[in-house]
Structure 1
Amino acid sequence: MAALTPAPAPRLRFADPRCPAMMEIQMTDHFAHCVPGLESPASHLEEVIPSDTANLSNVSRALNVAISGAVRITTCGGDIATVTIAAGTAFPVRACRVWATGTTATGIVAMF
């Protein structure tokens, strides 16, 4: 029986904004073949501007804040509540809106 050889992991290309020439960095993504689940780390980040009228462009997996405080959210299940989020932590919540009214935390980032 012949041994199976795993397929090579896909190579990703990223432009490095710290490099004046915008040279590309190549790296291997060993997890590209995995199906992400809700327990998987976030693949995307988006700055959140709290709004009483607009939803987030994507439902979050978690929220992170730069300055601790209250964050009023609507979950993807339709619940509205105010939660306290400590700076620098990933607060797991599937939020579809971050309200301006009732939110005191700043530097909010949605992770999805």
Structure 2
Amino acid sequence: MSEQMLEVMRRRSELLSKIASQRGEAAGIGARWQAPLALADQGLAAVHFLRSNPALVAGVVALLVIRRRGVVGLAKGVWRMWKGYRLFTAFSAKLLSRR
């Protein structure tokens, strides 16, 4: 083989090994960011839910005014309602998929 071809093959081998190490680094970075991005995704889902259900938000605010238990009481109630809604939708989707 020509000297130039050997040089190209050697350079290709170096680049392939560099690509493999960079791929490993990218996988490590992705693994570290997976949990924070999942949390941010859940936060965005909660915001989307609240924006698509303004009547629910108004009802919760009205309950806060009526009950006067403060922000902590509201936070507990909202959390329970959110979990209950998610449980209800998952359960109803499971029931509807059985048909």
Question: 1 or 2, which has the higher helix percentage?
Answer: 2
Structure with the higher fraction of residues in strand conformation: 1
With a CA cutoff of 8 Å and minimum separation of 6, indicate the structure with the bigger relative contact order.
1
Larger Rg over CA atoms = 2
Shorter-chain TM-score bucket reads under 0.3
* TM-score normalised by length of structure 1: 0.21
TM score, norm. by length of structure 2: 0.23
